[in-house]
Amino acid sequence: MLLQKTVSFVHGAVLTKDMLGELYQYPRDFVKLKYDSYSDGILEGIDFVVQEGNVCITRGIIKFQGEYYFLLQPVNLTVYLQGKSLQDKQYNLYLQRSEKKYADHITEKSLEIYISEDTETDMFLLFRFWGTDMRLPTVRSQEDMVKSTKKSRFWEFDNPLYVDFRDTVYAMPEKGTFHPFLFRAVRKYLKEKENKSTIEWGLLLQLQNNSILAVETMRTYLDYIGQVNEVKSRNELFCEFIQAIEKKHSFPDKKEDIKHVHSFGGIR
């Protein structure tokens, strides 16, 4: 049944194989119990922020091919890429598996940055970026759009000159979703959107509570508004979802509308 083990370190005592085994096994059992049902992808952290003008990756955990990898210190990507000879075009930034042995009984597995113009297999795609200038996309303000020829406030998210996170997998039970960076943009837009429908309030509430939406939730929303949902790729799905929330739709009456919102967990 349920159990809890405590390892006591007495001054002067010799560490035994069993004691070391418990220290080794406990954190691994904890992580596995928490995330065993999750898909491959980013489990915690691994966020993208700008600090002093530099794009940085925060600490976090990635599950890749069923194994867990920990980033214990932030990475300054801008500084890292300064030493690379990159051209004026789009690149893929992957994480590639590496393995080293430091002693007879110590093996270190890691995910190392690998930059390629091509689509690679057996690697974790972190994002795509423009080689000569790494810029994070943002949702443009309504005031910016008055002066712009662009039609969508999300135009930077579909522009190769900006970092593209649409194929960055964020882990969830069974099937991965999109990175919270993208959902923060959606949340910002929905929060500022006037005349939100009840179902859009439901989406906003879920984003405020959980920071992400399941892919099935996004598809359900597209089905609800009557949009043909034959989207196959992640890129297409996100684009269709953004186009949908930027439109004004005619919805059923409130009573029927609320029934649909129950599926999003936003209204009880």
Task: Tally helices (H) and strands (E) across the chain.
Answer: 8, 9
pTM of the model as a whole: 0.84
**pLDDT score at 24:** 67
Each residue's pLDDT tens digit, 34-88: 899 999 999 999 999 999 999 999 999 999 999 999 999 999 999 999 888 899 9
Each residue's pLDDT tens digit, 220-238: 999 888 876 676 789 999 9
Q: Are residues 149 and 130 in the same domain?
A: no
Each residue's pLDDT tens digit, 117-131: 999 999 999 999 999
Q: Are residues 109 and 144 in the same domain?
A: no
Q: Are residues 145 and 252 in the same domain?
A: yes
Q: Compute the distance between CA of residue 262 and CA of residue 181 in angstroms, rounded to an integer.
A: 26
Helix 215-224 vs helix 198-210: crossing angle, to nearest 10: 170
Q: Are residues 149 and 223 in the same domain?
A: yes
Q: Are residues 185 and 141 in the same domain?
A: yes
Q: Is residue 9 part of a domain?
A: no
**pLDDT score at 158:** 93
How many distinct structural domains can be found in the chain?
2
pLDDT exceeds 80 at position 12:
no
Q: Is residue 64 part of a domain?
A: yes
Q: Are residues 152 and 247 in the same domain?
A: yes
With bands split at pLDDT 50, 70 and 90, how would you rate the model's confidence at 264? Answer: very low
**pLDDT score at 255:** 47
Q: Are residues 240 and 264 in the same domain?
A: yes
Q: Which of 114, 136, 158 is the last residue before a domain boundary?
A: 136
Each residue's pLDDT tens digit, 143-181: 888 777 888 999 999 999 999 999 999 999 989 999 999
Tokens 């009456």 locate to: 253
Q: Are residues 78 and 157 in the same domain?
A: no
Give the domain extent around 245. 137-166+175-268
90-95-97-103 Cα dihedral, nearest 10 degrees: 130
Q: Are residues 132 and 155 in the same domain?
A: no
201: tokens are 């309030």
- pLDDT averaged over the chain? 87
Contact 102, 108 (CB under 8 A): yes
